Amino acid sequence: MLRITPNSSAAGAAHYFDEGLSKQDYYAEKGEIIGNWGGKAAEKLGLTGEVGKESFVDLCNNINPETGQQLTARNADNRTVGYDFTFSVPKSVSIAYSVTGDEKILDAFRSSVSETMKHLEEEAATRVRKNGLDDNRQTGNLAWAEFVHTTSRPIDGVPDPHLHAHCFTFNATYDEQEQQWKAGQFRDLKGNAPYYEAHFNSLLATKLQDAGYDLERSKVNFELAGITRETIDKFSNRTQEIEKIAADKGITNAKSLDNLGAITRERKQKGLSPDELRQIWTERLSLAESEKIFSAFGGKNSASEKKKGTR
């Protein structure tokens, strides 16, 4: 799944870095997953490797991190700071990764995100208004900060498995013809979100199959074969919470549901270790469910041992 959310507050985006993007779940706290810069525009700005807060906040405030000077011409308070491109895997994939720890799943996901962002970057453009023109010019470069998370917001202090990535893409692109940084034209990219979502889903499905996983079609995408809706529902507490509140309030609009998710979420917590979380998740499963997940993973015998160890 791909969701694209605009952000028009520099202060809000900087706060988002502290409270949402960089405040990772337990995997990142152990140093396994960190934020990374991506895109040709990021490279042009000297931004590679791990995302640092100072450079992130500079770009939020339309400042060139290399020079300290204003980056793009338009600097109004209500300017669009950037767009959060959020990629999520099907729930069964999150469950399999959380229970088995199979790095092939994470590799398939991260490479699918990277390839989709690079494909999307090819269509990056900016407005052209000089010399009486009223057009768009393709630039082919963007700058984004990628953060990978493996859990959802907690319910009663316990998160569910949720493998997803935020690629916060800044509203800046370099126009080679005019030799200057300008605001991006994101309208077409956002409008073509269903295409890029399908592209991401196709890449991910192919990579998971290449890694040895069997898939089956769902109503909107795919799931790992053999992981039932009953199993998926055991790890969908956050979704069920939002759906219940929405039903109580009579909310059906998609945008309103997104807003509801934002205002009802608990703060992320750091109280549970990786082993503690994995034990909580494993205890939700019947032995048959564990066997099915580990069978797909290739560790059929380890499921029984794992389950016995949690009793």
- Mean pLDDT of the 157-170 span: 91
- Concatenating the DSSP letter of every residue in 147-162 gives EEEEE---BTTBPPEE
- Residue ranges and CATH numbers for the domains of the chain are 2-309 (3.30.930.30)
3-state secondary structure of 11: helix
Residues 218-237: pLDDT tens digits?
Answer: 888 999 998 999 999 888 76
pLDDT value at residue 245: 43
The chain-wide mean pLDDT, for the chain, equals 83
Question: Which pLDDT score is estimated for 298?
Answer: 54
**Residue 34 pLDDT > 80:** no
Instruction: Indicate whether this model's pTM tops 0.85.
Output: no
Cβ neighbours, 10 Å, residue 73? 10
Q: Which residues contact 77 (CB under 8 A, 6 or more apart)?
A: none
Work out the angle at residue 68's Cα, subtended by the Cα atoms of residues 138 and 74, and round it to the nearest 5 degrees: 45
- How far apart CA 252 and CA 157 sit, in angstroms, is 27
Q: Using alpha carbons only, what angle is made at residue 54 by residues 50 and 57, rounded to the nearest 5 degrees?
A: 105
What are 202's two structure tokens?
């196709």
Q: Which residues contact 54 (CB under 8 A, 6 or more apart)?
A: 65
* 36-38 sheet: strands from edge to edge: 2-7, 82-88, 161-170, 144-151, 36-38
3 state DSSP class of 191: helix
Measured between alpha carbons, how far is 21 from 168 in angstroms, rounded to an integer? 9
Where residue 239 falls among pLDDT bands split at 50, 70, 90? low
Q: Can you tell me which residue has the tokens 């909310």?
A: 251
Report which secondary-structure segment, H or E, holds 125.
strand 125-128
Q: How many residues does the chain have?
A: 311
Render pLDDT for 42-87 as a digit per residue (tens, 0 to 9). Answer: 999 999 999 999 999 999 999 999 999 999 998 887 899 999 999 9
* Greatest pairwise CA separation for the chain in angstroms: 74
CA separation, residue 234 to residues 32, 84, 92, 98, 209 (Å):
26, 28, 11, 13, 25
Residue 155 confidence (pLDDT) above 80? no
- Give me the pLDDT at residue 2, please: 96
Torsions phi, psi of 23, nearest 5? -80, 80
Contact 182, 73 (CB under 8 A): yes
- pLDDT given for residue 260 in this prediction: 39
